[in-house]
A and B are shown apart, each in its own frame.
Chain A
């Protein structure tokens, strides 16, 4: 249809262009792209990582400006929380006073302070809408007949009386007098009322008159005042201009093609036919594919071949191509950075993935070449040019080159926050009814007074209100937990006299309830929490695994390779099983492929009726099917009696990438560090169980996100196993003894694994437990078994699909079913509801019901040195990890569409690297709606058992921690190791925290506290057998 040459403008001399400035712009822009890598390894991180140098409250507004994603929940959502008392009025008052500081008492109108105004704007839900909505409301609803809903009756009567006095006193006589100084607009209000009978008007007539007068005066008063506008979103791309001029989105067709091409380019081996010339990079690959003559092409793509031919002829590098495109697009020098940023952010998910695959994915099968983002931009700009050109030719035929678009007068500033006169007037109207601003008072305001009020209302706009509401929302939980901790720690330190066994788990919030139940079941159990890789960073390969995977936090790079090997005695059997596995694997691979192909597909399909059995069985009886499958699976799985090849031998391979196994000294170092962190080294029980954790679920592309964060999205079982093996090694114990850490010969370490989804627990190397320990182990494992069932029961209260009357056994069956159910989109709730992190001795929080919302890190301040070096290294790991989890949950919750990945139901795995929504869409990053639906978005509160000075010194030593705390991405408080004094970091320093008059309820068992509740629960002290048994222990001592 339109086939004129594209290069209507003479291409500028690209050689003159400064590539480095373009490169700089790209480098700058790429920080704003989502930094989530391939989904098979899901790492929780701060969604707004790029803005960490800003204070939280500014950063979220930047996020709104750049991504258009919401900084907080919508106001209506906070109002719901107010109505269920999750936010209380006193929270609002406290937070608002603190926020306003000294300007709190500034009087902005007669008798009304700034605090009053803001408080009332927060307290009541004032409605607003577009101008036409407000006009409709006034004309069609009873807004001008009756006081608004929620206006207290006394306030209404006071307002009525004042108005009545005013009219009877001042206005009545002058209404007939046209020369009197009553504005005609007010006079006209009275036209509709029978003035003759004014003395005998009913209350409702007065109400009508009052409201109409108010509305009229508000409208008059606001007219002509200057309103505060914040211009924040600028239009910078051709697409934006064309969209506003002709309602045509030229990105749609570009994205359609770009998504297909990019997903093919990044594909990690899903498609049966990978894209030709992928190795030559994004730009070359695109060029060669689209330079071919094709029998047909879409309208807008027809000039593409000519364009590409020109690119080929001039042998452009991607960078030259970008410069050339920018020239054609006519982007002015000063707008170039913004333009490039906006262009890259137009399809953020895919663009971000190109960048991730190019920079951060060397472990994948097909990483992208290093400069892929540049090449992507070059291609994208070519397509943008074509699409915009076509659109312009179609709708704006008078323009002849793309650069002209910048000259077209469009409203280039989209104001996110400006309010219209009508809207402000409506606010004043509503506030007047509540603050007793009578018509006479408003009428008497001078223009400057009106100006002040309008400005004040404008200052406290939607975003500001949501900010304060959010602070109040956080304040409520903070008050609750700090009061509870302060109250609870008044009780004597809860340390069992005689420890039966010790359990070490990950700090994960999901283990809080597991540990609590263990302690409830056996008061002599001691539990500890350490980051779930247990200070053993390693590459690990299981006996039946294809690859080594790193098991440690992502910020670390392991240096050691550990392999699981089968026992020599069963070598034949191992080989046979491995061969069977290989056979089955190959068969399932060829079924997977051939069922989708042409001819072999026919065979598979004709016998496909057999699939009806697994189909029906798996959907209707998932748990039973899983049991059968697992029984069959044991036939080919490697025997359980495997071992870790943990120690470096003389023949082990050592390269610069790493070494096979650990040396004894390395092992001793790791155990020393772990026991030091935990503070366990003062007293070892005869049995120490170390539980790594992970999660398994079906039909869940985000499965890796449910695993242990400290193991880089892997399962922490091997780490626990390694710790146990190292700590049991007499040679390691000997080294440790020299360093002053004495592990008694009677102490045995056992490694285990806790699956947080089906709440199963398993142990490693139990065959190697010495017979004299067997009894202890069996007794301990029985308690663990009860605890996991109770844990399943407690967490089942959040699952609406299970009756709350269920027993422990039913609960465990239910969670087992959940993890095997193909139809289950919420196998578990992962870190949802996480809100706090306690770093300190378990004795201080033991018996406190924290509702699975608190990370529990063990740290013993009494064994730390003067410069708190142990706390320092703990905080280095805990702050970024827990902070990252908390913030990812925060952002995915407040804007699930913008920051999260939306609902899971239409998710479609693409290229084996991520999910799209439906058939084709941008790659979705973040957490899904089902993962966060029960989450309460609050910034995590760290409560550290230390002196405030120690934290300040740690902040001085670690810029990252300092940034997190000083910019308020996380909250932090300290609990004095010797007393119950709490300091809270507010503003820029620690301030002493005054606990409220809070009574902490005491319950006999956790069950008594949570039974019958689905919602988040407050705190309580669980004190039952713990105290009685302590008493009995004392008795024993006495006797």
Chain B
């Protein structure tokens, strides 16, 4: 058999193993016949292992043959020609996707093994691993995506599993509230992504990165878009990336997402999920190259987010929030690097940061012991001096900055009040109208168009 066929076979195994795991775990739980912890563990390890080995084989083949890009095409999953709708499943192995998928598999494998012990005998063990498999599937699809719709599929799976795991402890209200919040920001990002995808389809007749970005493999491609279109599409992609990676002004959800069990926080918000926005920008980097204005926007947004996150991270007193903001700082810098066109640096930075942060998050509960060890080695208590930059500022400015950092840049409450509030008020007006019209149609009352009092203007949860 020839090499090309082997590449295809291993490529398919690499891409589909996680999906099979998801189907297996999910189906067994659905028919209420969950597998034992031991079997779940074996399945997880087998799926990740097979996928990992296959990806490595593909990598070796590519290195050996000097190929810089391999496609695995499943063709159109759905195609409705009358309305020009098609959903094209296609995976690609190139310099961006191979490191990313290897990273995802290594981290998911490690953190999954961690979770097997950590969640041992927990009531939600099965639920956790179904979500985990969903996340793994999403990450593999997104990393290997060769069309924008495949990327979108992976992106959605990652988002859904994130939100479900944030709300893992659903018997308390805070995780559910925060899960919902994460979910709504993600939906906003999804909407922007979808808009970008549709715009691309309209422009090029398809979402295939290969066609879209020219024949050259990543990152050398040139997008066949005009600067104006590139700016439009790129802006949508930027909004999507900002939502997913928690950049300003969406940063509020990131610390709130630390509600789930520690391993899920580590893999999602330390390692993979939070980098997905940056990955999207990397994947679309040929589009970004078309518009300098867009690149400038990316750099500015990244810079602002980085400064904000570094500042907010300094005042956090709990380990998980501090790590969340530390993550955000680095993700923002990665975004800056992408905006500056330093794709390779960004990729290395992303991988390094993901490994480092997930280890830090996994061992977050050991903080007290770490502090004691460091204290003993240094021989004195660890305390901080005010950072030099801040010490220059006046006392009053310090207080203002401190408060802004403590309130996390007021971002949540601004979004609540400026964006969500008006929507809610508008819809509660519609609601009242509808009710009064229904009453009138029932013949019980005359319609009135008076503006009702907003019901439940509590904006936290919406």
Q: Which residues of chain A are within 8 angstroms of B172 by Cβ–Cβ distance?
A: 917-918, 921
Q: Is the CB of B333 within 8 A of A602?
A: yes
User: What does the 1/0 interface line of B318-335 toward A look like (CB < 8 Å)?
Assistant: 111111011001100100
Nearest CB on B from A27, distance (A):
28
Minimum CB distance partner of B396 in chain A: A292
> Pick the contact of A608 from B111, B318, B355, B379 — CB < 8 Å?
B355
> Pick the contact of A582 from B111, B322, B369, B378 — CB < 8 Å?
B378
Residues of chain B in range 356-412 having any CB-CB distance to chain A below 8 Å: 356-360, 362-384, 386-387, 390, 395-396, 398-400, 402-407, 410
Q: Is the CB of B323 within 8 A of A605?
A: no
Minimum CB distance partner of B358 in chain A: A615
Partner-contacting stretch, out of A198-206, A478-486, A508-516, A699-707: A699-707
B429 at the A interface (CB under 8 A): no
> Pick the contact of A615 from B325, B362, B366, B379 — CB < 8 Å?
B362
Q: Which residues of chain B are within 8 angstroms of A905 by Cβ–Cβ distance?
A: 118-119, 122, 169, 261-262
Q: Is the CB of B366 within 8 A of A700?
A: yes
Nearest CB on A from B178, distance (A):
6
A365-B381, A585-B377 are contacts. A699–B365 as well, Cβ < 8 Å?
Answer: yes
A273 at the B interface (CB under 8 A): yes
What secondary structure prevails in chain B residues at the interface with A? helix
Nearest CB on B from A476, distance (A):
26
> Pick the contact of B406 from A261, A270, A703 — CB < 8 Å?
A261
Residues of chain A in range 428-463 having any CB-CB distance to chain B below 8 Å: none
| Docked CA distance A916–B122 (Å) | 19
> Pick the contact of B359 from A294, A581, A611 — CB < 8 Å?
A611
> Pick the contact of A823 from B118, B372, B386, B402 — CB < 8 Å?
B118
| Docked CA distance A272–B358 (Å) | 21
Q: Is the CB of B317 within 8 A of A267?
A: yes
Q: Is the CB of B399 within 8 A of A619?
A: no
A598-B306, A615-B110, A699-B366 are contacts. A289–B402 as well, Cβ < 8 Å?
Answer: yes
User: What does the 1/0 interface line of A229-261 toward B look like (CB < 8 Å)?
Assistant: 000000000000000000010001100000011
> Pick the contact of B362 from A299, A619, A911 — CB < 8 Å?
A619
Q: Is the CB of B326 within 8 A of A908?
A: no
Q: Is the CB of A586 within 8 A of B378?
A: yes
A264-B406, A598-B329, A608-B355 are contacts. A619–B314 as well, Cβ < 8 Å?
Answer: no
Q: Which residues of chain A are within 8 angstroms of B407 by Cβ–Cβ distance?
A: 260, 294
Q: Which residues of chain A are within 8 angstroms of B306 by Cβ–Cβ distance?
A: 598
> Pick the contact of B402 from A275, A296, A822, A826 — CB < 8 Å?
A275
Q: Which residues of chain B are within 8 angstroms of A173 by Cβ–Cβ distance?
A: none
> Pick the contact of B117 from A271, A824, A912 — CB < 8 Å?
A824
A596-B322, A801-B120 are contacts. A269–B366 as well, Cβ < 8 Å?
Answer: no
Q: Which residues of chain B are within 8 angstroms of A728 by Cβ–Cβ distance?
A: none
Q: Is the CB of A270 within 8 A of B349?
A: no
Partner-contacting stretch, out of B77-85, B139-147, B252-260, B291-299: B252-260
Minimum CB distance partner of A622 in chain B: B117
Q: Is the CB of B384 within 8 A of A273?
A: yes
| Docked CA distance A919–B345 (Å) | 32
Q: Is the CB of B365 within 8 A of A701?
A: yes
Q: Is the CB of A703 within 8 A of B369?
A: yes
Residue among A290, A293, A294, A918 having the largest count of chain B Cβ atoms under 10 Å: A918
Q: Which residues of chain B are within 8 angstroms of A801 by Cβ–Cβ distance?
A: 117, 120
Q: Is the CB of B352 within 8 A of A609?
A: yes
A136 at the B interface (CB under 8 A): no
| Docked CA distance A917–B384 (Å) | 26
Residues of chain A in range 877-904 having any CB-CB distance to chain B below 8 Å: 903-904
A642 at the B interface (CB under 8 A): no
Minimum CB distance partner of A275 in chain B: B402
> Pick the contact of B368 from A595, A618, A701, A800 — CB < 8 Å?
A701
Q: Which residues of chain B are within 8 angstroms of A547 by Cβ–Cβ distance?
A: 375, 381
| Docked CA distance A152–B83 (Å) | 70
A609-B355, A821-B117, A824-B117 are contacts. A906–B317 as well, Cβ < 8 Å?
Answer: no
Q: Interface size bucket, B side?
A: 35 or more
Minimum CB distance partner of B173 in chain A: A252
A293-B400, A601-B329, A604-B356 are contacts. A620–B110 as well, Cβ < 8 Å?
Answer: yes
B316 at the A interface (CB under 8 A): yes
Q: Which residues of chain A are within 8 angstroms of B257 by Cβ–Cβ distance?
A: 919
A146 at the B interface (CB under 8 A): no
Residue among A289, A601, A906, A916 having the largest count of chain B Cβ atoms under 10 Å: A906
Nearest CB on B from A396, distance (A):
12
Minimum CB distance partner of A698 in chain B: B366
A168 at the B interface (CB under 8 A): no
| Docked CA distance A917–B319 (Å) | 12
Q: Which residues of chain B are within 8 angstroms of A958 by Cβ–Cβ distance?
A: none
Minimum CB distance partner of A604 in chain B: B356
Nearest CB on A from B421, distance (A):
9
What secondary structure prevails in chain A residues at the interface with B? loop
Q: Is the CB of B110 within 8 A of A619?
A: yes
Residue among B263, B353, B377 having the largest count of chain A Cβ atoms under 10 Å: B377
Q: Which residues of chain B are within 8 angstroms of A296 by Cβ–Cβ distance?
A: 410, 413-414
Minimum CB distance partner of B172 in chain A: A917
Q: Which residues of chain B are within 8 angstroms of A800 by Cβ–Cβ distance?
A: 120-121
Q: Is the CB of A910 within 8 A of B378?
A: no
A3 at the B interface (CB under 8 A): no
> Pick the contact of B115 from A595, A602, A823 — CB < 8 Å?
A823
| Docked CA distance A824–B117 (Å) | 6
Q: Is the CB of B262 within 8 A of A906?
A: yes
Minimum CB distance partner of B262 in chain A: A905
A263 at the B interface (CB under 8 A): yes
A614 at the B interface (CB under 8 A): yes
A546-B375, A598-B310, A919-B259 are contacts. A269–B382 as well, Cβ < 8 Å?
Answer: yes
Q: Is the CB of A919 within 8 A of B174?
A: yes
A588 at the B interface (CB under 8 A): yes
Minimum CB distance partner of B309 in chain A: A598
B16 at the A interface (CB under 8 A): no
B188 at the A interface (CB under 8 A): no
Q: Which residues of chain B are within 8 angstroms of A824 by Cβ–Cβ distance?
A: 117-118
| Docked CA distance A542–B369 (Å) | 16
Q: Is the CB of B399 within 8 A of A288?
A: yes
Q: Is the CB of B258 within 8 A of A908?
A: yes
Nearest CB on A from B351, distance (A):
6
A920 at the B interface (CB under 8 A): yes
| Docked CA distance A822–B369 (Å) | 12
Q: Which residues of chain A are within 8 angstroms of B446 by Cβ–Cβ distance?
A: none
Minimum CB distance partner of B332 in chain A: A598
Q: Is the CB of B387 within 8 A of A273?
A: yes
Residues of chain B in range 168-199 having any CB-CB distance to chain A below 8 Å: 168-169, 172, 174-175, 178
A773 at the B interface (CB under 8 A): no
A292-B400, A611-B359 are contacts. A918–B175 as well, Cβ < 8 Å?
Answer: yes
Q: Which residues of chain B are within 8 angstroms of A31 by Cβ–Cβ distance?
A: none
Q: Which residues of chain B are within 8 angstroms of A295 by Cβ–Cβ distance?
A: 404, 410
A39 at the B interface (CB under 8 A): yes
Q: Interface of A with B (CB < 8 Å)?
A: 39-40, 248, 252-253, 260-261, 263-264, 267, 269-277, 288-290, 292-299, 365, 394, 542, 544-547, 581-582, 584-586, 588-589, 592, 595-598, 601-602, 604-612, 614-616, 618-620, 698-701, 703, 800-801, 821-826, 903-912, 916-921, 933
* A and B contact pairs by CB, cutoff 8 A, 9 listed: A252-B460, A272-B313, A296-B410, A616-B106, A699-B362, A701-B368, A909-B368, A918-B260, A920-B321
Q: Interface of B with A (CB < 8 Å)?
A: 106, 110-111, 113-122, 168-169, 172, 174-175, 178, 255-263, 306-307, 310, 313-323, 325-326, 329-330, 333, 345, 348-349, 351-360, 362-384, 386-387, 390, 395-396, 398-400, 402-407, 410, 413-414, 417, 457-458, 460
The 6 residue pairs across chains A and B that have the minimum distance between CB atoms = A585-B377, A608-B356, A608-B352, A596-B326, A918-B259, A910-B318
| Contacts beyond the supplied A273-B314, A700-B369, A933-B121: 17 A-B pairs with Cβ under 8 Å | A252-B460, A269-B381, A270-B318, A546-B379, A588-B373, A596-B325, A596-B329, A598-B329, A601-B326, A608-B351, A608-B352, A611-B356, A618-B359, A701-B368, A823-B117, A905-B262, A911-B318
